[in-house]
Chain A
Amino acid sequence: MAEPNDNVSSVRKAIELAVLLALLGVFVAVSLFRQWPFGLKGVALAKSIGTIIAAGLTLVMFSFLYRDNPLFKVAENLYVGVALGYGAVLTWRMALREEVYKPLFMAPTTEALYAALLHRTVPIILGILLVMRISRKHAWPSRYAYGLIVGWNAGVGISLRTHTYVLRQLHAAIAPLQAAVATGSAAALTGPWFLDVFFPFVAALAVLIGTVAVLFYFFFSVEHGPAGKAVSKVGIWFLMVSFGASFGNTLMARLSLLIGRVQFLLDDWLMIGK
C-alpha cells in the first residue's frame, strides 16, 4: 500500500515537471520573440543562436538555487567538457602550433629551420619529459624537467620576490611619514593639510602598528606576558578588520558576477537593457 508521503512526493514531482515544461515553453517563446528574425537587427545568426544557448544555460545554472536537478547536472558537465575541449584547442593553436609545429615544419628557409632546431630542441625534449608523467612506469624522467623548473624559478624568484615583498614593503612600513608623502599626490604640500598630509600619515602609522602587532601575534617562540598579550590583542583586531574587509569585498565581487549575468540576460537575450 502506498504511504501518504509517497503520494505527496509523486504529486510534488508532477507539479515540478509541469512547471519545468511551462518554463521551457516560456523560454523558447521569449527567445524566438526577442531574437527573431535571426540574423537581422544587426546581430549575426550565429550570435543569436549562441546568445539563446548561453541564456538557457545561465537560467539552468540559476535553477540550482531552487534545488539540485538533472538539468543543472547536464549544464555542469557540459561546462567541464567544453572547457576541456576549448583548453585543448587553445593549447594547440597558441602554444604547440606557434612554438613547435610552425617553426619546425613550416620554416620558410633552411636557416630558419636550423635556428628553430638550435633554440627549440632542448625545450621540446623537456616538454615531452613533462608529459611522461601520465605513465607511472615512465614518469621518472619528468623529474629532470621539474628539477629545472623548480631550480630556475627559485633562482630567479627568490631575489626578485624578496625585493618586492620584503624590502619594499619593509621600507614602506618603517618609514610611515616618508611613505605617506611618497604615495601622496604632488599637491600634498600645497593641498588641504588634513587630507593630504595628516590623514596619509595616520594611515601609514596604522599600517606600521598593524604590521608589528600582527607579526607579534604569530610569534610563538616565547610566552606572551601581559604587555605581549595586549599587543597580540591589537594584532587580532587588525586581523578581524582585515577579514571583514575581505568578506565585504568578496560579497561585492559575487554580486558583480550576478549583475554581469543579469546584464547579459537583459541586454543580449531580452534586448531590453540597451
Chain B
Amino acid sequence: MAVPLAELRRLAIVKHVIYLLVAAAVAVPLIAHLLPGEFEPTPNARKLFDRVEALKPGTRVLISLDFDPGSEAELLPMGMAILQHCFQRGLVPLVMTNYPSGVDLARKIVEDAIDKSEEYLGKDLVSGADYAFLGFRPGDVNLLLGMGENLKGAFQTDYYGKPTANMKALAGIRSLKDFELVIDISSSAWVELWIVYGADRFGFDYGAGVTAVMGPDMYPFIQAGQIVGLLDGLRGAADYEKLLAQKGRGMFGMTAQSAAHVLVILLVLAANARFIFRRVTGKEEA
C-alpha cells in the first residue's frame, strides 16, 4: 500500500527533529563539561587494569594500536589511558601498528601520552630507552609469526629509523614468547589474529580494547581465558580512565553517550506507546 504524501512529510519532519534532539543530547553535556556520576568499572576493564598493575617496573609490554582515524573516537582514549598507565608504573611500552593508515595516529597517541606522563612523572621519557615506537611493518600475519621467532629481525629499526639490535627498550626481548602481556587496541579482525597467531601460539597473556560493535564477539574469548581483560567501546575507555583516576575524553564522552542513550530509550518507548495507542483506537491496522 502506498504511503500518503502527508504521512511521508510528517515522517521527514519527525526524522529531522530526532536528529536535532540527538545532536543536542550529545553536544550539551560536552559544552557544559559534564562528567558522569559515580560508576563502577566493568570487571573486564578492571581485570586488564589489574594485569598491568601486577607487572614489575621495567617489564616490556607490547601494545599494538591497530586502528585508523575512523575509530579514533572510541579507541584513542583507550590507547592514551593504557600508555599513561604503563609510564606511571615504570613499564616499558613497545608500540606498533598493523594499520599503515594508522601510523600517524599511533605516533600522535604515543607522543601525547608521553607529554602527559612527563608532566605527571616530572621527568623526560627517552625514545629507545623508556619506550619504543616501532611503527608499521608489512607482512600481515607473517609479521606476527616472524615476531614470534625474532622480534628484532621483524623490526630491524624503529619508526624513527634507529636500529633495534642494541636498543635498551628491547633489552631481554628476543621474540613474542618473552612478553608477559600484549595488548591490542583494534577496530578490526586483528584482535582475533593476535589470539590465533600470537597469544595461543606463543603463550603470552593478551588484553584487548575494541569498538563497541565488536564487543559481544569478544566474550567467548574472555570466557575461554584467551583474553585476560577487555575494554569495550567508549565505556571501556571511561572505565580505564576511572581506574587511573583521570578525566579524559572517555569520561567526558560517556556523559554525552548516556544522554543520547536515555533519549533513544525514550524515543523507543514513545514510538511503541503511540503504536499501541493507535492499535487500541483502531487507527493502526494489525
* A-to-B contact residues, CB < 8 Å: 65-66, 86-87, 90-91, 94-95, 98-99, 156-157, 160-161, 163-165, 168-169, 171-172, 179, 182-183, 185, 203-204, 207, 242, 245-246, 249-253, 255-263, 266, 272-273
Contacts and interface: CB of A to CB of B under 8 A. Distances in A.
Interface in B204-239: 211-216, 220, 222-226, 232-235
A172 B225 CA distance: 8
Given A183-B225, A185-B47, A266 B30 contact: yes
A263 B73 contact: yes
Interface in B146-160: none
Interface of B: 16, 19, 22-23, 26-27, 30-31, 33, 47, 50, 72-74, 100-101, 103, 136-138, 141, 145, 192, 195-197, 200-201, 211-216, 220, 222-226, 232-235, 249, 252-253, 256-257, 260-261, 264
A250 B215 CA distance: 9
A260 B74 contact: yes
A84 to B, nearest CB: 12
Contact of A263 (B215, B222, B253): B253
Contact of B226 (A164, A185, A245, A258): A164
Contacts of A169: 220, 224
A157 B225 CA distance: 21
B26 A255 contact: yes
B216 A246 contact: yes
DSSP majority for the B interface?
helix
> Which 9 pairs across A and B sit closest by C-beta, in order of nearness?
A260-B73, A172-B224, A253-B212, A252-B212, A253-B213, A249-B212, A256-B234, A95-B138, A90-B100
B148 to A, nearest CB: 11
Given A172-B224, A255-B26, A262 B234 contact: no
B223 A253 contact: no
Contacts of A245: 216
B213 A249 contact: yes
A183 B196 contact: no
10 contacts: A65-B19, A94-B138, A164-B226, A165-B196, A185-B50, A203-B223, A204-B223, A260-B73, A260-B253, A263-B73
A171 B223 CA distance: 10
A165 B197 CA distance: 12
A262 B138 contact: no
* A86, A95, A165 — most chain B CB neighbours (10 Å): A165
B16 to A, nearest CB: 7
Nearest to B18: A65
Contact of A258 (B26, B101, B192): B26
A263 B30 contact: yes
A156 B146 CA distance: 13
Contacts of B27: 262, 266
